[in-house]
């Protein structure tokens, strides 16, 4: 059965600066984008939709930045059953992103 998004809270976007500069002299950072999303069963005639189980999820995505502006592709949405799971995913991403930024920035 497919589901569809029936409700989404206002998106919260927070920018993180990794204190690293890329080879072109731009500051490396990332947006962490969060909200809450509710999925409900799609009508049977819909052949499209999400494969999520119906319910409320804590949604997360990331977008790399250069000089505070979006850079490159946005990452796919991730959905978590609890805010704690989402917070753990954010911490894990930021740790790895900081490591990549340091490597790219020559630290």
Contact in structure between 57 and 80 (CB atoms under 8 Å): yes
Domains of the chain by residue range: 3-104
Tokens, residue 83? 């805010």
Asked if the model's pLDDT at residue 106 lies above 80, the reply is no
Tens digit of each residue's pLDDT (9 = 90 or more) over 72-85: 999 999 999 999 99
| Local structure of 99: helix, strand or coil | helix
The pLDDT value recorded for residue 105 is 79
Tokens, residue 76? 């796919």
Count other Cβ atoms within 10 Å, centred on residue 35. 16
Contact in structure between 75 and 62 (CB atoms under 8 Å): yes
pTM: 0.87
């Amino acid at each position: 059965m497919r589901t569809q998004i029936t409700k989404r809270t206002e998106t919260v976007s927070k920018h993180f600066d990794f204190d690293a500069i890329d080879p072109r002299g731009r500051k490396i950072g990332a947006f962490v984008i969060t909200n809450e999303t509710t999925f409900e069963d799609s009508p049977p005639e819909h052949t499209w939709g999400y494969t999520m189980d119906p319910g409320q999820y804590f949604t997360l995505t990331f977008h790399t930045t250069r000089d505070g502006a979006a850079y490159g592709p946005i990452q796919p949405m991730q959905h978590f059953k609890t805010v704690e799971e989402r917070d753990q995913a954010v911490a894990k991403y930021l740790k790895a992103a900081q490591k990549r930024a340091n490597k790219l920035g020559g630290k």
